A and B are shown apart, each in its own frame.
Chain A
Amino acid sequence: MFWSKKPEPKPTIYAEETCSSCGERARRPFEERDHVYEHGGSCKKCNSSTMITAVYGEYPPEKT
């Protein structure tokens, strides 16, 4: 219905990982126990270990 309330946008939570040797940045969906500045996973490019450098929520772009 045109008068019904628009559903509230929900953010998608990402964890951003940065490779400690090649500096490659990649993001993936957030998992519990992901903490910023703690060990992430391994780099897809050079297989070195990565560090989580940010955890953030991204909202869908607003329709104009």
Chain B
Amino acid sequence: MTDFFSYLLQLGGLGESGEFDPSNPLMYIYIISLATIPLFMMYGQRMQGKIVLGEISKSLVKLKGMRDNARLATIEYVKISLPQSTDPAAKIDKFLEYFTIMPVDIDPSGLVRKLGHVMRTKDERMRQEVRKICPGVSDYEASKIENMLEAASALNMIYKVVRHFYLMGKRTTSVYVLVQLQMVMPILLEEADALKKAIGTFQKGQPIGDGIGPMVVGKMMLGREKKYAAKETVYAQGEHKGRTLYFLKAEGPAGTVGRPGEAIQRLAGDLGIKLDAIIMIDAALKLEGERTGDVAEGIGAAIGGIGVEKYQIEEVATDYDIPVYAVIVKQSILDAITVMRKEIADSFDKVTETVHAVIEDKTREGQSVMVIGVGNTMGVAQ
């Protein structure tokens, strides 16, 4: 024992005489602090796991609250819309559990076509289910319920995935699973919060940040004859400084994104409209530090989603050698799916000016341009 203490003294250089001094309290602190090292070596990971588990558990409770509130808000809204109907809770719960199986991608040839087919089937099925839940409501009301259900469904999915990894981490006591979950948790909570707020916006039928494209094009379409372009998508013809303009957007004020890809295939392909340029206006996710409502101009198909619509537009543009220009309005994910912020609405004039500048700069008199307002047109007519 004395050997051990002398060894410690040698290590720490304690005690001027070089001997163990039991009256010195620092000596005991020193011994205890050294003893904690093997303790942390053996149990450190387990302790870290417990702390992480506690933090994830708190976030999981938050997510559960958001999921339950979203579900309740949707049920209440359906009940208010259809006071005579039976309790829709069971049907809505069934809807929240719907899933989509993506097509096989080991043979990528023709994948987008298959993907398009799956997504169309999903959309149609969703619409049918909404009609079953609330028969007899107007298209506008049905689109509001559909958007609310989609947000509630996304929240349900986030909650279930987080719960899965939480329980898996707890069962396997794997700190690595838990730490990975803890790292992505702030982003997941931010997305969940955006979805939660989006439900209130859809319920009131207010335009969302993503609707800036349809809002700009909707103004250009005012007073012109609106024709069918594709399902839930309309187009109109106009003129600007000697150029023929075709305006395309989802049919508002219902909450839909329309089918711009199919529409452009029909207009340029089937109807044989010769286009010299395509200009797409869309909301784009801003990087941290960028200002909401900033307008930027670029090249390429500005459209989000799974990629089917983008592919269709790019196919038409490539087949007919049409340059595609993009005008985007920057915003965060929260701004994009909640009520349109004033900063985004204020960018309206700048977007219109930019579109006109692109038309004048990139095309000559006598040429034709397609202007597409991409995004969810909730609360925006034309």
Contacts and interface: CB of A to CB of B under 8 A. Distances in A.
Contacts of A34: 379
Interface stretch (B19-27, B54-62, B97-105, B203-211): B203-211
B344 interface: yes
Nearest to B340: A56
A33 B205 contact: yes
Contacts, number: 63
Contacts of B169: none
B341 A13 contact: no
A11 B341 contact: yes
Contact of B342 (A35, A36, A56): A56
Contacts of B344: 56
Contacts of A33: 205
A45 B381 CA distance: 25
Contacts of A57: 206, 338-342
B345 interface: yes
Nearest to A16: B345
A38 B338 CA distance: 21
Q: Interface centre among B215, B342, B381, by most A CB within 10 Å?
A: B342
A17 B340 CA distance: 16
Contacts of B218: 36-37
B311 interface: no
Contacts of A16: 345
Closest 9 CB pairs of A and B: A56-B345, A35-B253, A57-B339, A37-B381, A36-B380, A58-B342, A54-B345, A56-B342, A56-B340
Interface of A: 11, 13, 16, 30, 32-38, 53-59
Given A33-B205, A55-B340, 11 more contacts: A11-B341, A13-B206, A35-B205, A35-B380, A54-B215, A54-B345, A55-B379, A56-B341, A57-B206, A57-B338, A57-B340
